[in-house]
Amino acid sequence: MIYKLLKNLVLIYLFLCLSSTFGQRTNLDWKLHNIGEVRQLVTNMGTLWQANVDYPGLIYSEFPRESHEEHIGEGGIWVGAIFGSDTLVSVTTSWNSNFEFYPTDEPWDTIWIVNKNDTVDIPYWQGYVGVSDQDLICRYSDYNIRTIPDHHPLYLDVIQNSYSWASEPLDEMLIFNFKVISTNYDLDNVYVAYWLDGNVGYRGSGWDFALDDYSVYYSDKKFGVSVDDPGHFDGTAYSPIGVQIFPPENIPSDSLRWTFNWYPGQGLGAPPGQDALRYEQMASGVIMENQQDPIGSQFIISFGPVDMYAGDTLSFFVAVLFGEGEEGILKNVDRLDWLVGQDFKVPSPPPLPPLRIKARNHEVILKWDAQPGDINPETYIDPYRADSSQQPFEGYRIYKSTRSAAGPWTLLGEYDLPNDGYGYNTGLEHEYIDKGLLNNFDYYYSVTAYSKEDTVIDFPSQESSIYVNAKQVIPGTAPPQTVGEVAVVPNPYRGDIAYQDYDPQWEKPTGTRDRWMEQDRRIQFINLPISCEIKIFTLAGDLVATILHDNPSKGYEDWNLTSDVGQTVSSGIYLFTIEDTNNGQAQIGKFVIIK
């Protein structure tokens, strides 16, 4: 932990020193693979963690969804080569190293999102056609920043595109395709490594959950795994994380020298920072014995040597896999082998239904009929089915959650094509009204479209992403004309009541936290006019807080029982005044807090 803290302090210092240069010469970006069960951060620096981008989240690689189970501390490729008389290695990320790959400052050098079978003209990849349900494409180079200390570039461009899927059996894996291009020079004895700092376990406030992991390697599959040791500080994780490398298609795997090297955590070891030592490890051909002591999992898998002439492209891909325990992740290795054999050409779900939601008093109306300009899920064509059903749309499913846009979800209804021998044959609908809801509470809805199964290749029905189509809605009444009926709920507020356990939740964690904290307390002023000012006082007349309200459709405001100077308030009777800023009318009231 001390080592990781010192490393982070060094990286922060270097970032501050070079931030103005980065801002002028790079266009940093991040996106999330979020269409399936894996929620993975991707940057256009080639890293699977925050690096220098402004990602605001706490977790980089969450699986399963909403589990708050982390899997990655760092992750990315290294490329090493003999260049003249020098041995050089360029790294996307590593301990004991600066970040050495960056995008340009061109506005299009961001991360592109492309859906399956859509065609997009990317400046460096004209006519790109989406392969998976959610492709992310970016480009970065090891020479865009020339002021990185101790970095001698190989003048490499890397084009990275990654795949994820919305439905079983492929929603527990990600595929990263890499095209490494030598832009200027002939490079001898090129080696490529994938570096993974696996941090597996429930993500709390610190990094203690990462201290009980260990590394395992399956030589026949070129597959490295970070595994959480059962028990300890973070309990037992649901899923390990594994990395499998597929070398270039034109190079037999057994003709290459493979290396698996793990490094102990807790400050007991780390990859070297000098290029020559790093290259020596990448090219060693040593397969270390599996790690026995669960003191942190960090490893590289590397292959080579390959010679590259100026202008050559080295293409390979890396799979990042998850699953229920080691048995589940190995099952996904077999699924991946089948997927590779299919050249990633597999049946896909229908497009997302064009969901529109309207909130009213105690009810919500959902509609998803295709309007002019919308993509109609019912008419999509899937060219990769093995059966004869080229238009395999079957039906819609309606989901609801009272917790978050990531679930858990309750199935409200399912409508499918009538008289076709599949499903329930209920007939299609394009509207659903959910009644009896509580006003001013958060609800979440999603409507998905799903296909028939492909019985020829035994491929299950595919469903569009429930997460991508999720929408938040708050039922309630329109704001009144002026003050006079403003009230506080709950009144009294009682500190001995677990409001966070209500369904739907009255109080819930904000941001990326999953556990309630003091600042999540909540009372609500209801029946507010469009524009007004709320002032809260003690009985002694001391002003505690001021809340400004200006919203033509929302007739309430929340207060977290914290004063304007950041202090939590104590038990007692409080007064409030509401002044309508449009007409000057006012209302006075009181409420009670019991902690």
pLDDT bin (cut points 50, 70, 90) of residue 297 is: very high
Instruction: Give the confidence band of 388 by pLDDT, cuts at 50, 70, 90.
Output: confident
Top mean pLDDT of 2-6, 235-239, 282-286 is at 282-286
Q: pLDDT tens across 154-200, in order? A: 999 999 999 999 999 999 999 999 999 999 999 999 999 999 999 99
Confidence label for 81 from pLDDT (cuts 50, 70 and 90): very high
Q: Are residues 374 and 289 in the same domain?
A: no
Domain final position from 315, 341, 367: 341
In a domain, 585, yes or no: yes
Under the banding of pLDDT at 50, 70 and 90, the label for residue 509 is confident
**Same-domain pairing of 168 and 78:** yes
Asked if residue 199 belongs to a domain, the reply is yes
| Domain match, 91 and 201 both | yes
In a domain, 349, yes or no: no
Q: Which of 262-266, 331-335, 572-576 has the lowest mean pLDDT?
A: 262-266
The whole-number average pLDDT for the span 287-296 is 95
In CATH, what number is assigned to the domain containing residue 536?
Answer: 2.60.40.4070
Residue 153 lies in a domain: yes
The structural domain count of the chain equals 3
Report the distance separating Cα 61 and Cα 391, nearest Å: 35
* Single pTM value for the model: 0.87
Given a contact cutoff of 8 angstroms between Cβ atoms, the answer to whether 554 and 479 are in contact is: yes
Residues 573-578, mean pLDDT to the nearest whole number = 97
- Hey, what are 50's tokens? 């925050």
Tens-place pLDDT, residues 458-507: 999 999 999 999 999 999 998 999 999 999 999 999 999 999 899 998 99
Provide the CATH number for the domain around residue 106.
Answer: 2.70.98
Task: Examine residue 481 and state whether it is found in any structural domain, yes or no.
Answer: no
pLDDT band at 8 (very low <50, low <70, confident <90, very high): very low
Q: Which residue has the higher pLDDT, 406 or 9?
A: 406
User: Domain boundary residue among 438, 473, 508?
Assistant: 473
pLDDT (0 to 100) of residue 267:
78
- The whole-number average pLDDT for the span 254-264 is 95
Q: Is pLDDT of 19 > 50?
A: no
Mean pLDDT value of segment 61-72: 94
Q: Is the pLDDT of residue 266 over 90?
A: no
Domain hosting residue 143, numbered range: 2-341
Per residue in 443-454, pLDDT (tens digit) is 999 999 999 999
Q: Does the pLDDT value for residue 78 go beyond 50?
A: yes
User: What pLDDT does 272 receive?
Assistant: 92
Same domain as 510, residue 391: no
Asked if residue 539 is part of any domain, the answer here is: yes
Same domain, 334 and 365: no
Report the candidate in 18, 95, 30, 75 with the shortest Cα–Cα distance to residue 57. Answer: 30
Largest pairwise CA distance in the chain: 84
- For residue 468, the domain's CATH number is 2.60.40.10
**CA–CA gap between residue 527 and residue 479 (Å, rounded):** 6
CB contact set of 59 (below 8 Å; sequence gap of 6+) = 39, 68, 70, 203, 512
Residue 426 has pLDDT above 50, yes or no: yes
515 with 542, same domain: the answer is yes
Q: Are residues 441 and 502 in the same domain?
A: no
Q: Using one digit for the tens of pLDDT, what is the confidence trace for 92-116?
A: 999 999 999 999 999 999 999 999 9
In a domain, 480, yes or no: no
Q: What percent of the chain has a predicted confidence (pLDDT) above 70?
A: 95
* Per-residue confidence band for 232, with pLDDT thresholds at 50, 70 and 90: confident
Distance CA 441, CA 349 (A): 32
The pLDDT score that the predictor gives to residue 10 is 43
Same domain, residue pair 296 and 420: no
Provide the CA 586 distance to its chain's centre, in angstroms. 46
Same domain, 175 and 291: yes
Q: What is the mean pLDDT of residues 349-377?
A: 96
Beta strands in 84-186 (DSSP E): 86-91, 112-114, 119-122, 125-129, 134-141, 156-164, 173-182
Within this chain, do residues 364 and 334 fall inside the same structural domain, yes or no? Answer: no
Structure-token pair, residue 23: 């801002």
| Final residue in a domain of this structure, among 414, 444, 473 | 473
- From residue 327, give the alpha-carbon distance in Å to each of 54, 239, 541: 36, 10, 65
Helices in 26-149 by DSSP H: which ranges? none
pLDDT at 330: 96
- The answer on 190 and 148 residing in a single domain is yes
pLDDT band of 512, cuts 50, 70, 90: low
Of 379 and 22, more confident = 379
| Mean pLDDT to the nearest integer, 322-331 | 96
95 and 224: one domain? yes
Nearest alpha-carbon partner for 94 in 49, 142, 152: 49
**pLDDT of res. 33:** 97
> Comparing 73-77, 122-126, 317-321, 508-512, which segment has the lowest mean pLDDT?
508-512
Mean pLDDT of 135-141: 98
Give yes or no for residue 244 having a pLDDT over 70.
yes
249 found inside a domain: yes
